[in-house]
Amino acid sequence: MTPPILPGQPYFAYRDNALFAEDVRISELTRSHGTPLFIYSKTAMLSALASYQRGFAGRDAQICYAMKANSSLAVLQVFARAGCGFDIVSGGELERVQAAGGDLKKVIFSGVGKTRLEMRQALGAGIGCFNVESEAELDVLSEVAASLKLRAPVSIRVNPNVDPKTHPYISTGLKGSKFGIAHEDALRIYQHAASLPGLEVVGIDCHIGSQITETTPYLDAVDRMLDLVAAIEAAGIFLKHIDFGGGLGINYSADDMPPEAESLWKQLLVKIDARGYGNKKLMVEPGRSLVGNAGICVTEVLYLKPGEQKNFCVIDAAMNDLPRPAMYQAFHAIVPTQRPAEEKAGITYDVVGPVCESGDWIGCDRLLSVAAGDQLAVMSAGAYCMSMASNYNTRGRAAEILVEGAEVHVIRLRETSASTFQNEKLLP
Ligand code: LLP
């Protein structure tokens, strides 16, 4: 019986019907560490990164891992040691980069709501660039930097106004989005930035959305951005770098066919070269495409609950561990960690968690042949799962394991219930 093609293959694959992460049998990990359990493949992360590195070979390029996708310290270490910078969106993320030993000069700070405190913290740390998202933020940043007798390196996030053709909650580069500034205001705002005493204009950036599986939105965004670079430089403001953001999608299912980072960037570079900007420093901020298919979440089937209209498969992972289905109706493949030796007829289930919400589903209408006590792997769980996990229903966050070959590292201990309320105070 041929096993199905899995997202995350070959780093997550069946050997004699048992699911492995690299050279480690999943059931051995859950025996020692319990469920729900996030399991990551370091080789999968480095291989995803290598695709970008090949795409930018021979260029002055900086890959800044968008750590909001997965900010676990050991994951940051993997990318820091491989030479990546980081795209951060809070003072908290900056502290994580520091704790993981990342190069602060390669940190860029995105986000629409940076506080003065975060600005001071990032200036003190000597980060590489602030990706500023509004005119008001430019004024405040200049004031904060000038008060410290510093000049903040800035890039302005511009909305190229192209449709990334993805879920509306993760489209960001369109008019009407809270992110960035409008394309038509860019030149005026760059001139304003260049006049402020506490700023040094160093670049321009955009980010059009996430889980983009087509090449056209990128090609359009590059054109729109390069038009602006030409206009800004014609006005006498030199830009050292162009940052094209993140957004490249992954194959959650066989229907998703995103381009490889390498081929996408080779195509985009042809355009960038043709327009004469190939010698600038080029930056990207990938998140999901570096980690999404480098992780899975393994869960145990607690109960099977047949019903008149629906059958439910109740598992021990929930929307607090895997929030993407509830938030974006996202699809994650769900497969057994041990496949039956003989093909068995399956039953269609909604796979749901124990949280008291009807929205707490992980997969709808999935054909499974399972029994209580079996384990299932929720695939493509490396991005925007643990980093978005919560303690809703006072559920401790899951443990995390990073595998490399046959080596196993526990990178996060399972949270105890007590630790979920350790900062709370009883009334006198
Ligand atoms: N740069 C900026 C400025 C961003 O806002 C983001 C993601 C990225 C880079 C990285 O994008 P990526 O390469 O990962 O697509 N929670 C949602 C995704 C939210 C993305 C937010 N911004 C999800 O689970 O689909």
Q: Within its chain, how far is the Cα of 54 from the centroid?
A: 20
The CATH superfamily assigned to 12-41+292-416 is Lyase, Ornithine Decarboxylase; Chain A, domain 1 (2.40.37.10)
CA dist., res. 65 & res. 85, Å (int)? 6
Query: pLDDT digits over 221-246, tens only?
Result: 999 999 999 999 999 999 999 999 99
Catalytic residue among 64, 129, 356, 385: 356
Cβ 56 vs Cβ 338: under 8 Å: no
pLDDT, residue 178, reads 86
State pTM to two decimals: 0.97
The pLDDT of residue 168 is above 80: no
Please tell me the distance between residue 110's alpha carbon and the centre of ligand 1 in angstroms: 11
Q: Read off the pLDDT of each residue in 92-102 and give the average, rounded to a whole number.
A: 98
**CA 43 to each of CA 8, 228, 243, 335: distance values in angstroms, whole numbers, following the listed order:** 11, 38, 26, 21
What does pLDDT average to over the chain? 96
> What is residue 365's DSSP assignment?
E
DSSP string of 334-396?
EEESB--SS----EEEEEE-SSSSTT-EEEEEEEE---TT-EEEE-S-SSSSGGG---GGGPP
Report the share of the chain in percent with pLDDT over 90.
93
246 lines ligand 1 (CB under 6 A): yes
Cβ 394 vs Cβ 417: under 8 Å: yes
CA dist., res. 344 & res. 327, Å (int)? 33
Q: Where in the chain is the domain with CATH 3.20.20.10?
A: 111-284
Residue 175 token pair: 């008019």
Mutate to test the pocket of ligand 1, among 107, 210, 362, 385 (most ligand atoms within 8 A of CB): 210
Please tell me the distance between residue 208's alpha carbon and the centre of ligand 1 in angstroms: 9
Q: Whose CA is nearest to atom 22 of ligand 1?
A: 210
The pLDDT of residue 378 is above 80: yes
Q: Where in the chain is the domain with CATH 2.40.37.10?
A: 12-41+292-416
CA dist., res. 124 & res. 406, Å (int)? 41
Cβ 297 vs Cβ 385: under 8 Å: yes
Nearest alpha carbon to residue 76 among 44, 34, 45: 45
Q: Where are the beta strands (DSSP E) in 254-337?
A: 281-284, 295-305, 312-315, 334-336
Nearest alpha carbon to residue 298 among 10, 17, 33: 33
Please tell me the distance between residue 258's alpha carbon and the centre of ligand 1 in angstroms: 16
Lookup result for tokens 């999608």: 249
Q: Read off the pLDDT of each residue in 300-306 and give the average, rounded to a whole number.
A: 97
The pLDDT of residue 213 is above 90: yes
Lowest pLDDT segment from 1-10, 240-249, 387-396? 1-10
> What is residue 121's DSSP assignment?
H
**Which residues neighbour 102 within 8 Å (Cβ) at sequence distance 6 or greater?**
76, 79, 80, 84, 85, 86
**Which residues neighbour 63 within 8 Å (Cβ) at sequence distance 6 or greater?**
49, 52, 53, 56, 83, 84, 85, 283, 284, 286
Residue 251: pLDDT band with limits 50, 70, 90:
very high
Determine the 3-state secondary structure of 60 from DSSP: coil
CA dist., res. 173 & res. 162, Å (int)? 6
Nearest alpha carbon to residue 413 among 33, 57, 2: 33
pLDDT, residue 169, reads 65
Cβ 175 vs Cβ 181: under 8 Å: no
Residue 1: pLDDT band with limits 50, 70, 90:
low
CA dist., res. 110 & res. 95, Å (int)? 15
Is 385 a residue of the active site? no
pLDDT, residue 174, reads 64
The CATH superfamily assigned to 111-284 is Alanine racemase (3.20.20.10)
The pLDDT of residue 2 is above 90: no
Q: Within its chain, how far is the Cα of 249 from the centroid?
A: 10
Residue type, 220: D
